[in-house]
């Protein structure tokens, strides 16, 4: 609780909380990681990496709707946030929503046009979705 009050009073103190939440997530993406990212977001709602990492934690916990909401928040706030598109594409791909995955991967490819591996991801997603004419990137 003290950390939250300090963070609100002095936003520069939010970075250590965000870093701690990120390290905790990397070690063990559990409900605790979500709680830590919730606190980080409360302190600094403009820091999109907290939303991205909370979305990853939600994905690990199979809270897909919440993960999608956070990925979409990142994309809405920064339409050039490649990692948010990519991670949302992975989520769609994992859930066999291949057409949606292809759209997200294509968005990343527009931002990084020379990424060969990403071109393959786009083609693979369209192929799995049965959209063979679009699979030829």
CATH code, domain with 121: 1.25.40
Mean pLDDT across 53-60:
92
Say how many C-beta atoms besides its own lie within 10 A of residue 51's C-beta: 24
Q: Is the domain of 56 the same as that of 114?
A: no
For the entire predicted model, the pTM comes to 0.76
Q: What is the pLDDT of residue 113?
A: 86
Mean pLDDT across 97-105:
90
Q: What's the Cα-to-Cα distance from 96 to each of 33, 99, 129, 134, rounded to whole Å?
A: 26, 9, 8, 17
The whole-angstrom separation of Cα 40 and Cα 23 is: 13
Q: Is the domain of 62 the same as that of 14?
A: yes
Q: Is the domain of 21 the same as that of 41?
A: yes
- Mean pLDDT computed over every residue of the chain: 80
Q: Is the domain of 84 the same as that of 137?
A: yes
Q: What is the pLDDT of residue 10?
A: 31
Range of the structural domain that residue 117 is part of: 79-137
Show the tokens assigned to 72: 């979409």
Mean pLDDT across 10-37:
68
**57-90, pLDDT tens digit by residue?**
999 899 999 999 999 999 999 999 999 999 999 9
Q: What is the pLDDT of residue 115?
A: 82
- Are the CB atoms for 40 and 14 separated by under 8 Å? yes
Number of domains in the chain: 2
Q: What is the pLDDT of residue 27?
A: 66
pLDDT > 90 in the chain, percent: 38
Q: Which of 8-22, 27-41, 49-63 has the highest mean predicted lDDT (pLDDT)?
A: 49-63
Q: What is the pLDDT of residue 31?
A: 76
Q: What is the pLDDT of residue 125?
A: 79
Q: Is the domain of 48 the same as that of 101?
A: no
- The CB-side HSE value for 50 (13 A sphere, CA atoms) comes to 22
């Amino acid at each position: 609780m003290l950390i939250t009050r300090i963070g609100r009073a002095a936003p520069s103190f939010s970075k250590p909380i965000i870093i701690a939440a990120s390290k905790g997530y990397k070690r063990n993406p559990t409900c605790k990681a979500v709680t830590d990212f919730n606190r980080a977001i409360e302190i600094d709602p403009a820091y999109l990496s907290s939303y991205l990492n909370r979305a990853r934690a939600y994905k690990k916990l199979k809270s897909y709707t919440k993960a999608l909401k956070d990925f979409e928040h990142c994309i809405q706030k920064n339409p050039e946030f490649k990692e948010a598109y990519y991670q949302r594409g992975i989520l769609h791909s994992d859930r066999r929503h291949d057409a949606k995955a292809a759209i997200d991967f294509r968005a990343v490819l527009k931002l990084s046009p020379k990424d060969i591996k990403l071109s393959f991801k786009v083609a693979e997603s369209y192929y799995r979705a049965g959209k063979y004419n679009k699979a030829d990137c």
